[in-house]
Amino acid sequence: MSRKITLLDGAVGTTLWNIAEAHGVDKVPVWIYNIEHPEFVDELVKSYRDAGCEIVLANSFGANEPSVKRSSAYSAAEVITAGVKIAKKALEGSDVKLSLALGPLTQLLEPYGDLTEGECAAIYDEMLDAGVGAGCDMVMVQTFMDLEMMRVATVEAKKYGLPVMCSMTFEKIGKTMFGNSVSDVIETLAPLGIDAIGVNCSLGPDLALPIIKEFSEKTDLPLLFKPNAGKPITGSDGTTTVAYTAEQFAADIKPALQYVSYVGGCCGSDASYIREIKKLL
């Protein structure tokens, strides 16, 4: 039986900053562009649509109320609603699904920080209420290092009756920065009834490969793989090169395709990287 592999998008944040820079606009928290430069978000979504993505993320990743209030006069709800509506309009007439993106909060949960579980749940519920209300088709809970915070966000997401996919970010040693192992992640999240589980951000496809392989050995859940394309490397002569060209990125992703059901890119990847993965599929 052949397994269908669904093509995800690439980076939202770094790509939006590149679009802003090309238009002579300063880098700001990217959710601000939903309100102040919707044309950037429209360009981003259409670039991934045209590259062949089947699921695209809304520009909502860091748009939680504490962060939004700290950096703007907007509310999280209006920022997220605007971002979802821009993306929905850009995807009209296509079969591409739109996923709300939920990322970690800057505050730490008790006992490491002052944030209670109830406060954390309320912040995610506000994001979900806005995103689902504006028309998202599913939810991606991604780039978490703290499994407990991810559990809280996932429990809230499941209340909305949409597909929910979960993706942790790992260090080279195969654990999250909080020390969570692949087994910990599976044991905590799989019982919540999620639709996919996996790895995104932090590592390039070559270093993330052993982690997604370990997931494949320990769960029957569909797996998600969205590695980084890396930070630009500055040479001694001041020139910058990318850590992975689009072609190298796709070549390094190829071995993971035997394990995964969803594949795309994270920081540093744009539509050109996704087109190279599309060729593999």
Task: Extract the tokens encoding 261.
Answer: 């059901």
Task: Extract the tokens encoding 3.
Answer: 């397994």
Question: With pLDDT > 90 as the criterion, what percentage of the chain qualifies?
Answer: 92
Options 1.10.760.10, 3.20.20.330, 3.30.429.10, 3.40.50.300; CATH of 6-280:
3.20.20.330
> pLDDT band for position 233 (50/70/90)?
low
Q: Is the pLDDT of residue 1 over 60?
A: no
pLDDT at 202: 86
Average pLDDT over residues 93-114: 96
Domain assignments of the chain as residue spans, ordered by start? 6-280
Q: Is the pLDDT of residue 189 over 80?
A: yes
Average pLDDT over residues 246-272: 96
pLDDT at 236: 72
170 class by beta-carbon count within 10 Å (0-12 exposed, 13-18 middle, 19+ buried): buried
> pLDDT band for position 140 (50/70/90)?
very high
- pLDDT one-digit tens code per residue, 154-182: 999 999 999 999 999 999 999 999 999 99
3-state SS string for 169-230? CCCCCCECCCCCEHHHHHHHHHHHCCCEEEEECCCCHHHHHHHHHHHHHHCCCCEEEECCCC
> pLDDT band for position 237 (50/70/90)?
confident
Q: For residues 96 and 52, is the Cβ–Cβ distance under 8 A?
A: no
Q: For residues 7 and 278, is the Cβ–Cβ distance under 8 A?
A: yes
Neighbours of 99 (CB within 10 A): 25
Q: Is the pLDDT of residue 239 over 80?
A: no
pLDDT at 40: 98
Q: Is the pLDDT of residue 41 over 60?
A: yes
